[in-house]
Amino acid sequence: MSVSAALLTPEQLCRQLAAGDQATLQLLFKTFYNDLYKFTWKFVRNQEVAEELTQDIFIYLWENRETLQINSAVKAYLYTMARNRAFNYLKSRVARMSVVSDEVPETYAALSQTPEEELSQQELEKLVSEGIEQLPEKCRIVFNLSRQEGLSYQQIADELQISPKTVEAHMSTALKKLRTFLKTVWADAVLVLLYMFIS
């Protein structure tokens, strides 16, 4: 295949996968797997889980190749899938914790709400986006490069021409401010616990 996976348009990817082109899937895996794994790991903080969630992305693409629809850039689509899987894993983890531990008694009640009352993933993402927009500029840039682009602290330091220690300090400040913002706008234990996991 002459075009690289990073340059595939959504239409090309869907068409080639629908045609059963395994080479496209393999190239997609080779191009994006490592970065998606690192991105997922930053949320779940577990190598085995991050590997499983990342592999599941490519399994999903192949199993649903005949009906697959992608309405954004391929890279953005893959990162959204990774983030969604990490979110769902963390939510299920909080639910399990509420059953076996007395340390999070409010969590079970929060998860027992009706669908209309629960904090949906879309609502959470909207709240997080609002919180990110309120961060100091340097903190916001560093946070986005780390959490949305999947860059390491060293890569961010190189791109912004600052030290890794400074990157770490900006991330620490960003996470603290985000937690404060999220607790202010939504008090559910689920929300707070989910974002404790990405610190």
Q: What is the pLDDT along the chain (199 residues), one digit of tens a residue?
A: 445 666 788 999 999 999 999 999 999 999 999 999 998 988 888 899 999 999 999 999 999 999 999 988 898 899 989 988 988 888 777 655 544 444 443 433 444 443 433 445 566 667 778 888 999 999 999 998 988 788 889 999 999 999 999 999 999 999 888 888 877 765 543 444 454 444 4
Give the pair of three-digit tokens for residue 89.
């894993």
Contact 148, 79 (CB under 8 A): yes
Q: Which one-letter amino acid corresponds to residue 199?
A: S
CATH of 7-89, one of 3.40.50.2300, 1.10.1740.10, 1.10.3720.10, 2.60.120.10: 1.10.1740.10
CATH of 117-196, one of 3.40.50.300, 1.10.3720.10, 1.25.10.10, 1.10.10.10: 1.10.10.10
Interior/surface letters 60-77, b for 16+ CB within 10 angstroms, e for the rest? ebbeebeebebeeebbeb
Backbone dihedral angles phi then psi of residue 164, each to the nearest 5 degrees: -55, -35
In the 8-state DSSP scheme, what is residue 5?
G
Q: How far apart are CA 136 and CA 178, in angstroms?
A: 11
Tokens 């903080």 sit at which residue?
45
Q: How far apart are CA 135 and CA 178, in angstroms?
A: 8
Q: How far apart are CA 54 and CA 64, in angstroms?
A: 16
Nearest to 131 by CA among 197, 177, 86, 169: 177
